[in-house]
């Protein structure tokens, strides 16, 4: 508890001179100036682990405390056998004798996967570019309880059999697919009836070069009988997409928190059992403890085969699936220079991320503008349609027909390339008459210029009346510091100084507020991100995607108050949607890492401008 004390002194006023009247004002100014001085407390970091001995069934709490700062970047060490789960943060403010101090505490849950003695740290804390390190901590992880069912000690926690209490299955529709082909997949987590559990989020796939897409974040729940045991099944429907060729092992993981019941520890003296040996009282009085749990599905073999190079169409851009193409053009009666709107709809099943706008087979006499795209999902993750709108201007009056549009894709069912062509569209093109030139204007001949403005007559010394000098009578001189006007002016100046000091103190306190610090850090990172994106725009094509993704990821991590390395492509798409240029950047960067996607110069320029606009307008 902070003890704040204030002292007050009463001064007797027996003299009516200006010295005594100025004393309270001077003391007030001095106090305000002293309190307005900022408190420059040094940044101190510390770590605390409780308890230091725990079993694989339990967890310890790790707290990282940063004093003198409200924001920091924490880097935890990677330790084989230990896992860290972020559980939140807290901020504290204190004021002692007018000095304001603040602290930030980050809390993590530490779990062990196997027994042993581990050293945690030192933990790295970066504050305003300065690296601080905590003292290393030592902990001991013991084995889980091995008591057989029905013979657990009432004074200890009930053991939970993880394989029978909860497990997860990964079931893809097939285990061999072409590059960029979407494969329907079902992921189901099973929890035994009576087990209390909280899911932390949708599952993730453990594989290098396999993307998991779960459009519906809310899973379906039902009951299912497995090996004679009743389970609650939680099912997610999604798709797998291979962006790296070759055979690899895939698995699914889901993070959850298991609520483990804790028995009462009070026993009747002289007896070996509880006073009331009743399971209902255990539920009411014993309570539960949280136990982090990671469900891992058995690994499966998944093979990604390359697309055939034989008979690949010239306009093929990587689309994989089974699609149809529809075209609508309006209006069909236009004048030279008027825009013609093309609405192209690609519908079917497949990987719509790889679907690009169809191209005109010939652009002679036409000027094309970049198209816009809108994705409409269907009842399943891989069913839908993508609608493109593109403006085309006829520049040659000899054009009387819009040439066919072509769209090429690879059909995994037929194992061959397909090219769709639209019918030509007849146009009526007219050439409007030229517009007349507008007349010129100028000064009318013979027009008189305005008369110059007459200058006012300046006064001379002869117009001034002579000053009269008077002499004060003897004995009437009053010192300056005793004159009322001087005393009033001095008090006004001191009051102004006091007001400025109070305003400075108010601004200092406002600037130290966390939301102000966050706003300044966000604006600073926005400028740095825009500058870095501009620098990235000049690098060769192979390096643009990873560098731009790193810059945008750091900016979004600050805006969303999370760690940059925790933002995945799936997180970006769920937060911003598939139409966001950031989602496009992350997806293309993932594909580029495995050689599955290449950006043209026009695509890179459009993506670069879209990213700049998004970062600049981000609120």
What DSSP assignment string belongs to 81-111?
Answer: TEEEEEEEEEEEEEEETTEEEEEEEEEEEEE
> Given pLDDT bands bounded at 50, 70 and 90, which one contains residue 579?
confident
E strand segments, 202-313 = 204-206, 210-213, 220-226, 229-242, 246-261, 288-296, 300-305
Pairing mode of beta strands 300-305, 321-330:
unpaired
49, 114: one domain: yes
User: Does residue 468 form part of some domain?
Assistant: no
CA-CA-CA-CA dihedral for 485, 488, 489, 492, to nearest 10: -160
User: Does residue 499 form part of some domain?
Assistant: no
175, 279: one domain: yes
235, 336: one domain: no
126, 258: one domain: no
CA-CA-CA-CA dihedral for 528, 529, 533, 534, to nearest 10: -30
User: Does residue 224 form part of some domain?
Assistant: yes
Pairing mode of beta strands 124-127, 210-213:
unpaired
Question: If you average pLDDT over every residue of the chain, what do you get?
Answer: 77
Whole-number percent of the chain with pLDDT over 90: 29
171, 294: one domain: yes
User: Does residue 314 form part of some domain?
Assistant: no
Q: 395 or 443: which carries more pLDDT confidence?
A: 395
**Under 8 Å between Cβ of 412 and 178:** yes
- Which residue carries 């740290």 as its tokens? 121
Residues 6+ apart with CB under 8 A from 123: 45, 47, 64, 74, 75, 76, 77, 133, 134
Mean pLDDT, rounded, for 392-418: 93
Q: 355 or 546: which carries more pLDDT confidence?
A: 355
Looking at 79, 109, 142, the residue that finishes a domain is 142
Query: What digits encode the pLDDT tens for the residues 211-221?
Result: 988 877 688 89
Q: What is the pLDDT of residue 590?
A: 80
> Given pLDDT bands bounded at 50, 70 and 90, which one contains residue 4?
very low
User: For residues 91 and 107, what is the distance between their CA atoms, to the nearest angstrom?
Assistant: 11
525, 603: one domain: yes
Query: What digits encode the pLDDT tens for the residues 162-171?
Result: 446 889 999 9
227, 326: one domain: no
Instruction: Record the pTM.
Output: 0.49
Whole-number percent of the chain with pLDDT over 70: 74
Dihedral of alpha carbons 318, 321, 322, 327, sign: negative
On the question of pLDDT at 3 being above 60, the answer is: no
DSSP 283: I
- Which residue carries 């300044």 as its tokens? 520
DSSP 398: T
**Tokens matching residue 45:** 């970091």
**Tokens matching residue 202:** 């949708």
User: For residues 360 and 422, what is the distance between their CA atoms, to the nearest angstrom?
Assistant: 10
166, 300: one domain: yes
User: For residues 579 and 594, what is the distance between their CA atoms, to the nearest angstrom?
Assistant: 23
Q: What is the pLDDT of residue 435?
A: 39
298, 325: one domain: no
Owning domain of residue 406: 321-430
340, 249: one domain: no
**Under 8 Å between Cβ of 106 and 86:** yes
CATH number of the domain within which 405 lies = 2.60.40.10
E strand segments, 414-511 = 416-421, 425-426, 428-430
Query: What digits encode the pLDDT tens for the residues 270-317?
Result: 444 444 444 444 444 455 677 888 889 999 999 999 999 999 998 899
Q: Looking at 30-39, 132-141, 361-370, 563-572, which range is the least confident one?
A: 30-39
User: For residues 197 and 311, what is the distance between their CA atoms, to the nearest angstrom?
Assistant: 53
On the question of pLDDT at 187 being above 90, the answer is: yes
User: For residues 37 and 355, what is the distance between their CA atoms, to the nearest angstrom?
Assistant: 61
CA-CA-CA-CA dihedral for 311, 312, 313, 316, to nearest 10: 160
**Under 8 Å between Cβ of 569 and 597:** no
Mean pLDDT, rounded, for 241-261: 87
Determine whether 330 is exposed, middle or buried from the number of CB atoms within 10 Å of its CB (0-12, 13-18, 19+).
exposed
Closest CA to 201 of 254, 259, 237: 254
Pairing mode of beta strands 166-172, 359-360:
unpaired
Find how far residue 468's CA is from the centre of its chain: 79
Helices (H), 113-169: 162-165
User: Does residue 263 form part of some domain?
Assistant: yes
Residue 151, Cβ neighbours under 10 Å: how many?
A: 6
On the question of pLDDT at 87 being above 70, the answer is: yes
Mean pLDDT, rounded, for 235-254: 91
Closest CA to 71 of 40, 102, 38, 37: 102
Q: Looking at 218-232, 257-271, 337-351, which range is the least confident one?
A: 257-271
Closest CA to 250 of 180, 187, 170, 351: 170
- Which residue carries 């390359």 as its tokens? 306
Looking at 382, 415, 430, the residue that finishes a domain is 430
User: Does residue 241 form part of some domain?
Assistant: yes
User: Does residue 18 form part of some domain?
Assistant: no
**Integer angstrom CA distances of residue 250 from 163, 205, 208, 573, 594:** 20, 7, 8, 22, 17
Q: What is the pLDDT of residue 176?
A: 95
Q: What is the pLDDT of residue 262?
A: 61
Looking at 108, 142, 176, the residue that finishes a domain is 142
Q: What is the pLDDT of residue 181?
A: 94
Dihedral of alpha carbons 160, 163, 164, 166, sign: positive
User: For residues 508 and 524, what is the distance between their CA atoms, to the nearest angstrom?
Assistant: 19
Q: What is the pLDDT of residue 285?
A: 46
User: For residues 94 and 605, what is the distance between their CA atoms, to the nearest angstrom?
Assistant: 50
Q: 373 or 281: which carries more pLDDT confidence?
A: 373
Closest CA to 407 of 486, 500, 342, 452: 342
On the question of pLDDT at 484 being above 90, the answer is: no
Q: What is the pLDDT of residue 413?
A: 94
Mean pLDDT, rounded, for 371-392: 89
Q: How many domains does the chain have?
A: 4
90, 217: one domain: no
CATH number of the domain within which 169 lies = 2.60.40
User: Does residue 449 form part of some domain?
Assistant: no
132, 226: one domain: no
Q: What is the pLDDT of residue 596?
A: 63
Q: What is the pLDDT of residue 239?
A: 92
On the question of pLDDT at 265 being above 60, the answer is: no
């Amino acid at each position: 508890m902070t003890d704040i004390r204030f002292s007050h002194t009463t001064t007797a006023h027996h003299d009516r001179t200006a010295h005594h009247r100025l004393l309270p004002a001077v003391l007030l100014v001095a106090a305000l100036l002293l309190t307005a001085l900022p408190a420059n407390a040094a940044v101190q970091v510390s770590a605390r682990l409780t308890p230091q001995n725990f079993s694989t069934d339990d967890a310890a709490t790790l707290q990282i405390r940063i004093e003198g700062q409200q924001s920091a970047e924490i880097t935890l060490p990677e330790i084989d056998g230990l896992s860290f789960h972020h559980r939140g943060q807290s901020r504290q403010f204190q004021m002692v004798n007018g000095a304001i101090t603040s602290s930030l505490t980050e809390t993590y849950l530490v779990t062990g996967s196997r027994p042993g003695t581990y050293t945690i740290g030192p933990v790295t804390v970066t504050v305003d570019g300065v690296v601080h390190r905590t003292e290393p901590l030592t902990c001991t992880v013991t084995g889980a309880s091995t008591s057989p069912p029905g013979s657990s000690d009432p004074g200890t926690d009930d053991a939970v059999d993880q394989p029978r209490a909860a497990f997860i299955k990964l079931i893809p529709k097939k285990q061999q697919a072409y590059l960029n082909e979407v494969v329907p997949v079902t992921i189901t987590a099973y929890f035994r009836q009576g087990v209390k559990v909280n899911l932390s989020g949708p599952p993730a796939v453990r594989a290098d070069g396999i993307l998991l897409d779960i459009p519906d974040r809310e899973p379906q729940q039902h009951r299912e009988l497995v090996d004679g045991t009743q389970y609650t099944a939680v099912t997610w429907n999604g798709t797998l997409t291979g962006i790296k060729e070759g055979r690899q092992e895939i698995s699914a993981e889901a993070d959850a928190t298991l609520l483990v019941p804790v028995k009462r520890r009070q026993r009747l003296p002289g007896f070996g059992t509880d006073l009331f040996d009743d399971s209902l009282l255990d539920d009411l009085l014993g309570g539960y403890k949280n136990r982090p749990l990671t469900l891992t599905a058995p690994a499966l073999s998944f093979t990604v085969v390359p697309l055939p190079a034989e008979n690949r169409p010239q306009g093929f851009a990587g689309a994989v699936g089974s699609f149809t193409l529809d075209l609508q053009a309006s209006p069909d009666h236009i004048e030279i220079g008027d825009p013609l709107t093309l609405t192209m709809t690609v519908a079917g099943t497949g990987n719509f991320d790889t679907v690009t706008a169809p191209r005109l087979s010939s652009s002679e006499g036409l000027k094309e503008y970049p198209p816009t795209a809108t994705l409409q999902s269907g009842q399943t993750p891989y069913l839908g349609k993508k609608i493109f709108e593109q403006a085309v201007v006829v520049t040659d009056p000899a054009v009387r027909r819009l040439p066919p549009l072509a769209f090429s894709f690879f059909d995994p069912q037929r194992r061959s390339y397909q090219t769709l062509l639209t019918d030509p569209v007849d146009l009526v093109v007219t050439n409007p008459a030229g517009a007349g030139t507008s007349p010129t204007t100028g000064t009318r001949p013979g027009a008189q210029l305005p008369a110059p403005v007459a200058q006012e007559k300046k006064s001379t010394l002869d117009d001034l009346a002579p000053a009269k000098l008077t002499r004060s009578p003897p004995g009437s001189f009053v010192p300056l510091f005793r004159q009322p006007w001087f005393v009033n002016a001095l008090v006004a100046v001191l009051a102004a100084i006091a007001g400025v000091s109070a305003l400075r103190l108010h601004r200092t306190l406002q600037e130290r507020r966390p939301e102000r610090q966050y706003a300044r850090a966000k604006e600073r990172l926005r400028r740095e991100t825009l500058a870095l994106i501009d620098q990235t725009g000049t690098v060769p094509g192979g390096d643009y995607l990873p560098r731009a993704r790193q810059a945008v990821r750091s900016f979004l991590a600050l805006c969303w108050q999370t760690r940059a390395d925790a933002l995945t492509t799936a997180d970006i798409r769920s937060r911003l949607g598939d139409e966001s240029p950031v989602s496009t950047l992350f997806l293309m960067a993932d594909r580029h890492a495995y050689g599955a996607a290449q950006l043209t110069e026009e695509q890179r320029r459009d993506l670069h401008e879209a990213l700049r606009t998004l970062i600049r307008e981000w609120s």
